Amino acid sequence: MIRVSLNSIDRAAAETRVKATALDQVAVAAVNEVASEVRQKELIPEFSSKTGVPRRTLGARIEVRRATVGNPVAEIRASGAGIPAKLFRFRAEATAEPTRARVVVDWVVSGSKVAAGFINPRGKARTPLRTYSSKEDKRRATTRYYRIKAGKSAQKVDDLDDALAPSTATMIQHKVAADRGFLDRIQTHVARVFAARITQRKP
């Protein structure tokens, strides 16, 4: 999650020119404008370009919780649910098992990342798949096995489903960690938009 707010110093500089109530409204408008821009013009296009995941998919998983006068902090929130690896640009990386290749997806930093699951290089579809494990119930005299997920996958194979790559929340975490000036640029942009709105406002 990314929090977007107005620096107290930037706000204080405008207090002598604008009434407090109006100042709050301008600050909230500036914060919401920047948060929306960061989501729509930076995060979604960058993540899509680097990973191949469609913008529509990313847009559905990254949202802005808008600031209000009572809570003047906007939040760019991302889903923690894994994204199907097949939506990424992906490739199979051979392992010792001829029917179990690693799933490697293009990633937002460091080029690529291994997704949970496998690709069967000898299969017809060669799509990233996920294996659901079984658990053993040792509390009973008779050993009993059960599947975590019942039913068949879209591939019509019992206990297989789409392999999952990391989430948009992980994308943002890695983006922030790798791009150390990212949050500072957001803060600077908020101050710039706020100042422009104050200047344009009629006395």
Structure token pair of residue 109: 């930093």
139 in the same domain as 113 = yes
In this predicted structure, the answer to whether residue 72 has a pLDDT above a threshold of 50 is: yes
Region of poorest pLDDT, from 91-100, 109-118, 143-152, 172-181: 143-152
Number of domains the chain is built from? 2
90 in the same domain as 73 = no
175 in the same domain as 151 = no
**CA end-to-end span of the chain:** 36
69 in the same domain as 14 = yes
Q: What pLDDT shows up at residue 132?
A: 58
75 in the same domain as 15 = yes
Phi first, then psi, for residue 113 (nearest 5°) are: -150, 145
Q: What is the mean pLDDT of the chain?
A: 84
pTM of the model as a whole:
0.81
Kind of pairing between the strands at 160-162 and 129-131:
antiparallel
158 in the same domain as 186 = no
**Buried/exposed code over 24-40 (b: 16+ C-beta within 10 A; e: otherwise):** bebbbebbbbbbebbbe
Q: Domain range for residue 48?
A: 2-81+167-200
